[in-house]
Copies of this chain bind each other. A is one copy, B any other.
């Protein structure tokens, strides 16, 4: 059943002209005689010729494709960012191809290579949390393909960045929990080598300082997935039964905590108040709503795409910028006291 992909050569052979004439004609080059052009285009249509962008991009050196590298599609946050990116990119005739790293460094490196090999015009990247070496990003830089990082930028790579004010968001969330009456708030933290992990923890610490509350050891735990939280919370509550608040680095971790707390028959927010970070769709869609810090995913995607389009248009030298979006605390069922 394998058909033959009609090529420029097939058309050239049938018309007894050179393949480059066919190529020029199909790309509307002014040097080609209008009648020849017409004949070529008609035959191309008749033979169901699809311009092979592989060949085309060698000619034009652009693919009209933006490569998007994200850690995990399961985080609704990323689907919101993708919507923002696509809205802007599609308007300018660009397509978005998405690859996920599944938080694997190796997969991320392979995805970079696969996308580069597809001759994409630019990258929008949120780094895997297990990425500690950055040569694959530096290679993109050397090749001259522009990158915009979002949410989890890579420091030390020449690229634009779009982030939120993680410190302020975490500060406000923790302050809200304290003001709601929580005296013993644990923080389920992200990796500290990522700015989002470090700054959200810093905001949590700063809010405690603000109220002169000391933070016991073990109140800050490395824990940033649904499954990890679901497993860790029962152990933590057993050791620290006084805990009455949870501030989680992202919504899925907060949801895992809620699930575990419910199993322990803890009332939420009566016994333990919970606040996440992201304001993903899941935080507001379910029967029982999660308080969260709005991370402006859609806007982040739009800003990232606009930055990238600018960089792709003008390949002049530039000074990379970092755009910092404001967050907003949204108080819902899980922390309304």
Contacts and interface: CB of A to CB of B under 8 A. Distances in A.
A285 B255 contact: yes
Interface residues of A, number: 71
A51 B97 contact: no
Contact of A54 (B78, B100, B118, B282): B118
Contacts of A58: 54-55, 58
Given A73-B73, A118-B63, A285-B259, A3 B143 contact: yes
A144 B287 contact: no
Contact of A98 (B97, B116, B252): B97
**Residue among A73, A82, A99 with most chain B CB within 10 A:** A73
A20 interface: no
Copies of this chain held together in the complex: 2
Contacts of A50: 113, 116-117, 139, 143
A174 interface: no
A175 to B, nearest CB: 24
Interface string A66-92: 000000111010110011001000100
A258 interface: yes
Contacts of A2: 144, 315-317
Nearest to A261: B287
Contacts of A54: 54, 57-58, 117-119
Contacts of A1: 144, 158, 315-318
Nearest to A141: B3
Interface string A87-119: 000100001111110100001001101111111
Interface in A12-58: 48, 50-58
**Residue among A53, A102, A255, A262 with most chain B CB within 10 A:** A53
A118 B116 contact: no
Contacts of A90: 107
A252 B118 CA distance: 35
Contacts of A3: 141-144
Given A73-B79, A79-B74, A268-B287, A98 B95 contact: no
Given A76-B74, A286-B255, A4 B144 contact: yes
Contact of A52 (B99, B119, B281): B119
A5 interface: yes
Interface in A220-240: 226
A118 to B, nearest CB: 5
Nearest to A5: B143
Interface in A307-337: 315-318
B52 A117 contact: yes
